[in-house]
Amino acid sequence: MSLAPLNLPDYREKSPEVAARFKKIGQRPVVLNVRDLHKSFETQEGPKVAFEPMSLDVHRREFICIIGPSGCGKSTLIRIVAGLEGASGGEILIDGHPVSGPGPDRGMVFQGYTLFPWRTVKQNIMFGMEMRGRARTNADVEARQWLDMVGLSKFEKAYPHELSGGMKQRVAIARALANEPRILLMDEPFGALDALTRCKMQNYLLQIWKKVEVTILFITHDLEEACYLADRIIVMGANPGRVLEVIDNPVPRPRRTEQLLSPEFIALKHRLDELIHGASAGESEEEERLPMIKLTEAGDEVE
């Protein structure tokens, strides 16, 4: 599966437009500032490191993907940023102010939808506004606007169990955005969807991101998803969890599905593959060759 003969460009090479875009992003104010954040658990075999100290600046309206194999601590990281778990050290700043505990400034979309089953679609979207004590009529009008944005106006009176997975996740995104968070945290939001729906949802998300003033921190283990969505990609490794590399995505915007076959895209994906699967290649090769006795007759080969 060597891609070298294809003569791929260097994944660090950016076209002038992409370079200019990154320069512009860098000049925007920092929304999320993670400083020396680290986390370790106490287990029966002693302390286990979830991830080593890491720092990260996320600029306004930047789209960041964090990618890594299972066990690299990416989910723990986003849960700590959301305030759902405590860190072992370091701090998190939103617009320069340190935060602790969950709050409406950091909206979150979970893989498992987490819609409130006893509320209709519209009532789900109104939840955050109700918590902030917004007048009901205002909240109602605003919830309808969000429903329009995610294309679910017809379903405002439906209950979550009547929706498909993709629709549920659109409601969850609208519910988080209706709270006008400074940053939207997304923890493998499309992981439970089938490939076709996932592709549609990625395009929906990009459209919404363009229209709404929001910064996105997106967790995934899908290489293509990260390449397709992100401005910057933070690649994490496991055992112990740590940042391997922060990559500026050379694929120009606006993103289109055809770009999946562009040289920059393939080069970037190849690099991510190297970082994530290459690091543990030695072990996985061993695992893949199962010690199986041949149970078929000679000459009855399938490949």
Partner 1 sequence: MGLRDRLGLRHELPPRLRFVLLVFSFALPLGAWCLVSYVPWIWHPLIHVTDPGGADDYLPGMNVERAVFGQEVAAVVKKGQKPPEGYRVNPVYLPPPGKVAVAFVTAFTTPPRLPSEPWLYQSLGQSIRTIFWGFVISSLLGVPLGILCGTYRFFARLQEPFIEFFRYLPAPAFGALCVAILGIDDAPKVAIIVIGTFFQQVLIIANTVRKVDPALIEAAETLGAKGWRLMTSVVIPAALADIYTDMRILLGWAWTYLIIAEVFGTMSGITLFIVLQGRYLHYEYVYAAIAMIGVIGLTTDMTLAWLAGALFPWKRRRSGQRRRAKMFPPPSAALAEVTENAVNSLGSNA
Q: Which of 36, 91, 130, 194 binds partner 1 (CB under 8 A)?
A: 130
Question: Which CB, 104 or 166, lies closer to partner 1?
Answer: 104
Give the nearest distance from C-beta 90 to partner 1 in angstroms: 20
Lookup: tokens for 285:
């090769």
- Is position 82 an interface residue for partner 1 (rule: CB under 8 A)? yes
Nearer to partner 1, 102 or 278 (CB): 102
Q: Which residue has the tokens 């606007």?
A: 145
The torsion angles phi and psi of 68, rounded to 5 degrees, stand at 175, 165
Q: Decide: residue 169, CB within 10 A, 0-12 exposed, 13-18 middle, 19+ buried.
A: buried
138 Cβ neighbours under 8 A, 6+ residues apart: 129
Pick from 230, 242, 237, 173: nearest CA to 201:
173
Q: Which of 11, 22, 51, 110 binds partner 1 (CB under 8 A)?
A: 110
Which range binds partner 1 by CB under 8 A, 33-41, 64-72, 155-163, 226-234?
155-163
The reply on whether position 169 binds partner 1 by CB under 8 A is no
269 binding partner 1? (CB under 8 A): no
* Binding segment (CB under 8 A) for partner 1, from list 16-24, 78-86, 89-97, 257-265: 78-86
* Residue among 125 and 247 whose Cβ is closer to partner 1: 125
Cβ-based nearer residue to partner 1, 79 or 269: 79
Measure the CA–CA gap between 19 and 13, rounded to whole angstroms.
9
**DSSP one-letter code for 259:** G
Contacting residue, 74, 106, 232, 270, with partner 1 by CB under 8 A: 106
Does 159 contact partner 1 by CB under 8 A?
A: yes
* DSSP secondary structure of 145-200: HHHHHTT-GGGTT--GGGS-HHHHHHHHHHHHHTT--SEEEEESTTTTS-HHHHHH
Point out which residues bind partner 1 (CB under 8 A). 82-84, 101-104, 106-108, 110, 112, 114, 116-119, 127-128, 130-132, 159-161, 175-176, 179, 185
